[in-house]
Amino acid sequence: MKSHYQILIIGGGTAGIMTASQLKRQRPELEIGIVEPADTHYYQPAWTLVGANSYNYEKTARPMSSLIPKGADWIKDYAETFQPEENAITTRSGDKISYDYLVVVPGIKIAAELVKGLPEAMESGAVCSNYTNPEHTWETLKAFKGGTALFTQPATPIKCGGAPQKIMYLADEHFRKTGVRNNTNIIFALPSPSIFGVKIIADTLMEVIDKKDINVRFFHKLVEVDGKNKIAWYEIEKDITAGGCVTLADGDESQLDHEIQYNYKDVQVSRDGDRYGIHFDIMHLAPPQSAPDFVRNSPLAADTGWIEVDSKTMQHIRYPNIFSFGDASNIPTSKTGAAIRKQAPVAVANILKMVDTDSISDKAYNGYTSCPLVTGYGKMVLAEFDYEKNFMPDPKLKKFPMMIKDSSKEHWRLWMLKKYGLPHLYWNKMMKGHEV
């Protein structure tokens, strides 16, 4: 292993492999090292479909060795500490590696410990999550015989903010096929006041909610999971002193606060002071997530724990030869592979310009990201938007034969894009260093 690289990349996920592949495709002579401990690279966007028995889990995995671009060195180790003043990092095994330019894209940490009782509940199988074990999600849905099916998401940033509700829509259809939907209440509890941050998409999703007869509980911040008794405890992130009930059993539904409750269902709820405990028979959640510990505790992090970069250039605010984007950065947009698809070319252009001239290019990221919102078997909405939450379809995706004129509406061709088109784009274009 070399002790110095022109460009050192931390992370072999979507962002790391894309960056290395694009750099090597444009400048094969560059000396590039990739620090990544994992043997396997996963196409995680398909895990929603795995959790609904519509995609083979094994097809989401490929050997890391098959994706490291030719001519780049794979450093199979963990990055442990940063010494940006020395242009160096130290690995877990104690090796010190210096660099001319550093790209920090280690992804995101599943931080179940941020919710009391959640690690134990996940370990025991009391709750399921596509984020950690989509095959267990399918086993859970398959065994469900009716009752309260609770779907929830945390108050932290998460990979693909739409994922917690995608599996809910698929579960609804599965329950209808198996005949248990008539004796089932589906509850979606989330901390925000809206089901999605882009209005045109939120309007479509609320139509789906109405059609599927799902109870949405807004302003619900998950604070504890009692796996043994199957209770999810929430605090309400809204001032309720002005009147209006949060939940109401055997009473007058007109007294409910309808900014909190939409399409109310009378499921069992316990109260403990200002906390409300929803009793469930099955529960799927996106666990809380955070920047990895070695990033959060490093000199590269902002006060929030995420890597502090310019949101347009991907360049670190304090260390100009360091770049970061994707899930571990503080870029104010959704943490998705689709965002990385547009961020990586900006970072690469700026790095190459710095190699040549010690200044960055005029290429800038406008905040584009997308979220393929599966709304049922054979149906999907494609949410594409920028920093200002403007609905902004990507002209490059429009070239796909699966695309339709208005992707803010449900369509079966968008499902085909999700299941077949996007995996092809990922493995054969993005991972190979093509700008798409």
For the CA atoms of 5, 6, 10, 12, what is the dihedral angle to 10 degrees? -90
Task: Spell out a b/e string for 7-17, using b for 16 or more CB atoms within 10 Å of the CB, else e.
Answer: bbbbbbbbbbb
With H, G, I as helix, E, B as strand and everything else as coil, classify residue 136. helix
**What is the C-alpha separation between 426 and 436, in angstroms, rounded?**
10
CA–CA distance from 6 to each of 70, 72, 92, 321 (Å)?
16, 11, 21, 11
**What is the C-alpha separation between 304 and 156, in angstroms, rounded?**
11
**What is the C-alpha separation between 307 and 301, in angstroms, rounded?**
4
The catalytic residue among 371, 382, 403, 430 is 371
Q: What angle (nearest 5°) sits at the alpha carbon of residue 412, between those of residues 14 and 165?
A: 60
Return the structure tokens found at 162. Answer: 């739409």
At 169, give phi and psi (nearest 5°): -65, -40
Q: Where are the alpha helices (DSSP H) in 44-186?
A: 47-51, 118-124, 134-143, 163-178
**What is the C-alpha separation between 272 and 240, in angstroms, rounded?**
16
Task: Please state at what angle helix 134-143 crosses helix 163-178, rounded to 10 degrees.
Answer: 30
**What is the C-alpha separation between 401 and 43, in angstroms, rounded?**
22
Return the structure tokens found at 327. Answer: 């899930």
Annotation marks residue 371 as catalytic: yes
Whether the Cβ atoms of residue 328 and residue 300 lie closer than 8 Å to each other? no
Contacts of 49 (CB under 8 A, 6+ apart): 55, 374, 418, 419
Return the structure tokens found at 59. Answer: 């097809």
Return the structure tokens found at 151. Answer: 């779907």
Annotation marks residue 160 as catalytic: yes
The edge-to-edge listing of strands for the beta sheet with 275-279 is 220-226, 231-236, 275-279, 269-272
* Closest C-alpha to 188, from 223, 157, 213: 213
**What is the C-alpha separation between 404 and 412, in angstroms, rounded?**
10
The catalytic residue among 118, 160, 198, 382 is 160
Catalytic positions, written as ranges: 160, 371
